[in-house]
């Protein structure tokens, strides 16, 4: 920068330029960013747990289905119907 530009546009430190409103805005933005990052991390964690659970359930279902196919069905017992005649006195 030339000497003339430096004289016209003096650079001030960030702390001096920041007003109370600027500081409040910056802090609010930091809080919002932290909440957002926390929410995203929680969502990713829960998604990973859900996918793990669904995979385990799918494996369990396949095992149950394989055992169901493997195990022959037991023959069904037929209920014997007894015909009892009641003798009526004549």
User: Which pair of structure tokens corresponds to residue 28?
Assistant: 């609010």
User: Which pair of structure tokens corresponds to residue 74?
Assistant: 């037991």
Q: What is the pLDDT of residues 16-53, one digit of tens each?
A: 567 899 999 999 999 999 999 999 999 999 999 999 99
| Matching residue, tokens 């003339």 | 4
- Cα 9 to its chain centre, rounded Å, is 53
Q: What is the pLDDT of residues 51-77, one digit of tens each?
A: 999 999 999 999 988 888 877 656 666
Distance CA 22, CA 14 (A): 11
Domain-wise residue ranges, the chain: 20-70
* Res 86: pLDDT: 58
pLDDT surpassing 80 at residue 10: no
């Amino acid at each position: 920068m030339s000497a003339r530009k430096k004289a016209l546009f003096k650079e001030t430190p960030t702390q001096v330029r920041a007003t109370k409103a600027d500081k409040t805005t910056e802090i609010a933005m930091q809080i919002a960013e932290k909440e957002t990052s926390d929410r995203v991390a929680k969502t990713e964690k829960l998604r990973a747990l859900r996918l793990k659970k669904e995979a385990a359930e799918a494996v369990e279902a396949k095992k149950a289905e394989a055992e169901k196919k493997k195990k022959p069905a037991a023959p069904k017992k037929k209920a014997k119907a007894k015909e009892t005649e009641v003798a009526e006195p004549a």
